[in-house]
């Protein structure tokens, strides 16, 4: 046992309990620090592995999307509940953005539908022209302009 400070008129058992309390609080603090470090390390390893996999397998389209998915995976390794919440929040935001777009749900081309529709109509006309030529077989051959090169 450590001797009490000179001039300390407190009971030695109180001093002993205070020292034990400080020691136990230091142990708890070190354990919390160790857990936080291991959790962060586990998250970084998970995120790094996910990012490396996505880069190698070309899973996500853009680098920002790959990094975002890697962060969610890393978050899932560190704090699974927070990663689950992030995924749910992401789906909610995407569903809100998708419902507010107001465009044709069958159109997958943002802002460029008219050009694609005109190209498809032109292609349909060319196909129909060739079918009628094949059926008639007596008309002059259709022009070859505009055929895929």
Give the DSSP letter string of 88-116: HHHHHHHHHHHHTS-S-TT--STT-HHHH
Identify each DSSP E strand in 7-129 by its residue range: none
Q: Across the chain, what does the average pLDDT equal?
A: 77
Q: Give the per-residue pLDDT at 65.
A: 82
Which tens digit of pLDDT belongs to each residue from 14-51?
888 888 888 889 888 898 899 889 888 888 888 888 88
Residue 73's pLDDT band, with cuts at 50, 70 and 90, is confident
Cα–Cα distance measured from residue 103 to residue 85, given in angstroms and rounded to the nearest whole number: 29
**Interval 125-142 mean pLDDT:** 73
124 or 33, higher pLDDT: 33
Per DSSP (E only), the strands in the chain are: none
Query: Which whole number is the average pLDDT over 72-84?
Result: 84
3-state secondary structure of 149: coil
The residue extents of the domains of the chain are 12-101, 112-144
pLDDT band at 96 (very low <50, low <70, confident <90, very high): confident
Is pLDDT above 80 for 9? no
């Amino acid at each position: 046992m450590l001797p009490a400070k000179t001039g300390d008129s407190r009971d030695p058992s109180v001093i002993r309990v205070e020292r034990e309390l400080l020691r136990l609080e230091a142990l708890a603090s070190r354990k919390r620090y160790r857990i936080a470090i291991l959790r962060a390390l586990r998250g970084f390893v998970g995120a790094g592995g996910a990012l490396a996999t996505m880069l190698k397998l070309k899973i996500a389209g853009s680098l920002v999307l790959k990094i975002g998915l890697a962060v969610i995976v890393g978050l899932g390794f560190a704090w699974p509940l927070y990663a689950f919440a992030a995924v749910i929040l992401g789906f909610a935001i995407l569903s809100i953005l998708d419902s507010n777009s107001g465009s044709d749900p069958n159109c997958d081309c943002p802002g460029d539908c008219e050009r694609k529709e005109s190209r498809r109509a032109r292609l349909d006309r060319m196909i129909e022209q060739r079918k009628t030529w094949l059926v008639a077989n007596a008309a002059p051959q259709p022009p070859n302009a505009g055929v895929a090169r």
